A and B are shown apart, each in its own frame.
Chain A
Amino acid sequence: MGMTVDETRCLGCAACAAICPEDALTLVRGTPEFSEDCTECSWCAKVCPVGAIKREG
Chain B
Amino acid sequence: MSGLLDAVAAVLLLLGALLCLTAGLGLVRFHDVLSRMHAGTKPQVMGVLLILAGAAIRLRGSSVVWMLLLVAVFQLLTAPLAAHLVSRIAYRRRHVRRDLLLVAEIGFEGFGQPLPADAPQGDEPAEAVTDTSAPSGGSSRAREG
Instruction: Determine if chain A interacts with chain B.
Output: no
